[in-house]
Structure 1
Amino acid sequence: MAEKQGGVVKRGHDEALKTAVSLLEEFGLPLGLLSPLADVLEIGFVRATGYMWIVQQKKVEHDFNTINKSVSYNSEISAYLEKSRLKKLKGVTSKEMVPWPLVSDIWVDDSPTGRIYIKSLGGTAKRFPVEAFLSNLGH
């Protein structure tokens, strides 16, 4: 796949999670966004474009109880990382009602409001407290 060309790839759950933590910290995103991942096989990142991909053994569903939302992470996830933002996110859905809408963008407000915004492929965006996505992932 052309998007992955020139990417640095880490394989194995522990190495992949260390890389994920490092990338989320570097780009100012809450670590809890990826804490539900399980049995990660591979993570890759192309610094020139910001393209990141994650492959895990199987689909994972997770409840973010503080905001009463269920999120589904497919076995393959990809996005473009920017400062405080995941763009063109693929492989993540959020359960509102049935069906699960595809999540396309996630960004953290730079102001002191402490809000994270999650936008569906259909264009609607919802905001949540960033604390709902904090985690001790990798620490």
Structure 2
Amino acid sequence: MGSQAIEAHRRGAEVYHGAALCAEKSVELLAETHMPLGLLPLGEMEEVGYNRASGFVWLRQKKPTTHIFKQIGRHVSYAAEVTAFVEDRRMKRMTGVKTKELLIWVTLSDMFLDKDDQSKITFKTPAGLGRTFPVEAFAKDDVPKAKPAASAAAAAAAAAANGKVASN
């Protein structure tokens, strides 16, 4: 079903190709919709598309992947094609995303930030069952969490190594 929906929404969509550009655009999309930046940790993406008129988004990767969100201890499976309709603080009618509950993989269809408490995100199944987690559990993993003093020291060391003088 994902491919048919993608083709139906391709006309008028912004389409990007290449792993680095797709990774950048997927993070931009999450930022634009005010969703946690680590929510779609997809690897080796080949195509990202966004039809702003309909709100339809698709992400294609070379092969399905599984990611473990360590803070909440959840395994999430992403198919080779992930699709959704996006709006502010919400992704709905998603395809290609499953989470492991006990011993079974459960399809996710919606995710949204709580209206009253923006620090919580809720995931729902097509049957309407849902779970709520803290937003910080879905922060982008590769963002360095260095102390400011260590960052300044690292910047000064890098500048010195390049033959430039760092000034404060």
Give the TM-score, by structure 2 length: 0.78
Higher relative contact order (CA 8 A, sep 6+): 1
Structure with larger Rg: 2
Counterpart of 2:21? 15
Q: Percent identity?
A: 36
Quick one: which of 74, 78, 81 aligns to 1:76? 81
Q: Are residues 1:32 and 2:18 paired? A: no
Please give the per-residue CA displacement for 1:91-112, whole angstroms capped at 9, x wherever unaligned: 0000003331110000012334
Higher strand share: 1
What is the Cα deviation at residue 4 of structure 1?
2.2
The structure-2 alpha-carbon separation of the partners of 1:50 and 1:9, relative to structure 1 and needing over 3 Å to count, comes to same
State how 1:27-106 maps to structure 2 within 5 Å.
27-35=33-41, 37-106=42-111
1:135 and 1:51 map into 2 onto residues whose CA distance is 23
Give the total of aligned pairs.
138
Q: Quote the RMSD (CA, aligned, Å).
A: 1.6
**Preserved contact between residue 21 and residue 137 of structure 1 (Cα < 8 Å):** no
Give the TM-score, by structure 1 length: 0.93
SS state at 1:66 partner: coil
Moved over 3 A (4+): 136-139
1:68 and 1:54 map into 2 onto residues whose CA distance is 24
1:95 and 1:25 map into 2 onto residues whose CA distance is 26
Q: Which runs of 5+ in 1 are unaligned?
A: none
Please give the per-residue CA displacement for 1:61-97, whole angstroms capped at 9, x wherever unaligned: 0111111110000000000010000010100000003
Higher helix share: 2
